[in-house]
């Protein structure tokens, strides 16, 4: 029997249906942000709306399948790009002004405002990837957030990087990246295959080698960062082979959310039958049956599922 015979081949899987609609939303300073909304036809005051905060210089489209998954499980969803990235990039980035704090204080806050206006009375939840988990604590309206799930969330303090690759990562992200940014006026990440192009102010925040967010360039301008306003129940998911998301890095950020009950769930790739997962793979659709239900369960119930992956450990912060 010829297995290459066309008559024996299965038809290609149909593309995932996209229920999203594009939108534009002004931030408080007038910058126009772009994103996508997944909205159920029938309004329901009890239905939560989830805002997805992206990682640094990762386009919001990376999270579309995950957003579709949440939508299929009863949530309304908002994804968006930070200023200077993807749908929120309006032109060349050379000398474009944007910082990590702008992404949280202005851009994420604009999404909180939009969620309250477009989905009045509905609970507001947040999923934050990498820096997106930090951004979840920078909005003025953070007290409205009900539940938060973060994945690999930290703010890139170099001593927290995984030990075996720490110096290589330091050279890449804290030496080469700022040098190229100084030469180009922005970080040409897309050309290098290192992320999207990134505004210089964001690079300065990332590459500054200090252990406190309030000592990063844009963090200093904030005075006391507004993390304590957040009272949400937080699940921080980290993967053991994520070189950014070490225990020290995850818990460094969690320490800022001192108004919240915080749970840290540590998962090894072997727990889900994988050799590696890393920093970016959680949101790939191949994990919708193994990792995504953990986030879904927390958003629905505010605790971890009883059948969560094997040898994972949970620590709860008071």
- State pLDDT tens for residues 234-287: 999 999 999 999 999 999 999 999 999 999 999 999 999 999 999 999 999 999
Q: What pLDDT does residue 15 have? A: 44
Ordered strands of the 32-38 beta sheet: 20-26, 32-38, 76-80, 49-53, 124-129, 145-151, 233-239, 262-267, 313-317
Q: What pLDDT does residue 1 have? A: 31
CATH number for region 20-157+227-317: 3.40.50.1820
Q: What pLDDT does residue 4 have? A: 34
6-43 pLDDT, tens digit per residue, is: 333 333 333 456 899 999 999 999 999 999 999 999 99
Across the range 108-124, mean pLDDT stands at 99
3-class secondary structure, 218: helix
Across the range 199-207, mean pLDDT stands at 99
Q: What pLDDT does residue 317 have? A: 64
210-238 pLDDT, tens digit per residue, is: 999 999 999 999 988 899 999 999 999 99
Q: What pLDDT does residue 6 have? A: 32
Across the range 191-209, mean pLDDT stands at 97
* Sequence-ordered alpha helix ranges (H) in the chain: 64-72, 100-101, 109-118, 131-135, 166-171, 177-184, 189-192, 200-207, 217-222, 247-254, 292-301
Mean pLDDT of the chain: 92
* Sequence-ordered alpha helix ranges (H) in 185-279: 189-192, 200-207, 217-222, 247-254
Q: Which helix (H) or strand (E) holds 236?
A: strand 233-239
Across the range 291-305, mean pLDDT stands at 95
Across the range 301-305, mean pLDDT stands at 90
Q: What pLDDT does residue 9 have? A: 35
Q: What pLDDT does residue 309 have? A: 79
Q: What pLDDT does residue 316 have? A: 67
pTM of the predicted protein model = 0.93
Q: What pLDDT does residue 118 have? A: 98
Across the range 154-169, mean pLDDT stands at 98
Task: Tell me the C-alpha distance between 148 and 253, whole Å.
Answer: 13
57-113 pLDDT, tens digit per residue, is: 999 999 999 999 999 999 999 999 999 999 999 999 998 999 999 999 999 999 999
Output b/e per residue, 195-220; b: 16+ Cβ within 10 A: bbbbbbbbbbbbbbeeeebeebbbbe
Q: What pLDDT does residue 223 have? A: 81
Q: pLDDT grade, residue 308 (50/70/90)?
A: confident
């Amino acid at each position: 029997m010829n297995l290459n015979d066309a008559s024996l081949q299965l038809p290609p899987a149909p593309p995932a249906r996209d229920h999203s609609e594009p939108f534009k939303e002004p931030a408080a300073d007038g910058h126009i942000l772009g994103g996508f909304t997944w909205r159920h036809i029938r309004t329901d005051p009890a239905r939560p709306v989830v805002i997805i905060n992206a990682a640094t210089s990762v386009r919001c489209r990376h999270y579309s399948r995950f957003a579709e998954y949440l939508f299929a499980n009863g949530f309304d969803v908002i994804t968006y790009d930070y200023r200077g990235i993807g749908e929120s990039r309006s032109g060349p980035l050379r000398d474009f002004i944007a910082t990590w704090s702008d992404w949280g204080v202005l851009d994420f806050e604009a999404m909180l405002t939009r969620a309250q206006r477009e989905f009045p009375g509905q609970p507001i939840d947040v999923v934050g990837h990498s820096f997106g988990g930090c951004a979840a604590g920078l909005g003025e309206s953070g007290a409205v957030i009900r539940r938060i799930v973060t994945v690999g969330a930290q703010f890139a303090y170099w001593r927290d990087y995984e030990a075996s690759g720490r110096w290589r990562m330091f050279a890449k992200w804290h030496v080469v990246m700022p040098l190229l940014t100084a030469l180009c006026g922005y970080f040409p990440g897309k050309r290098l295959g290192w992320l999207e192009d990134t505004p210089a102010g964001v690079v300065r925040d990332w590459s500054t080698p200090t252990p406190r967010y309030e000592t990063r360039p844009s963090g200093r301008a904030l005075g006391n960062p507004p993390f304590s306003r957040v009272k949400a129940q937080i699940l921080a998911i980290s993967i053991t082979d994520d070189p950014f998301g070490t225990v020290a890095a995850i818990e460094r950020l969690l320490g800022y959310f001192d108004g919240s009950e915080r749970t840290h769930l540590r998962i090894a790739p072997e727990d889900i039958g994988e050799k590696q997962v890393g920093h970016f793979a959680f949101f790939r659709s191949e994990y919708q049956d193994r990792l995504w239900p953990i986030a879904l369960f927390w958003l629905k119930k505010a605790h971890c599922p009883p059948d969560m992956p094997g040898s994972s450990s949970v620590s709860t912060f008071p």
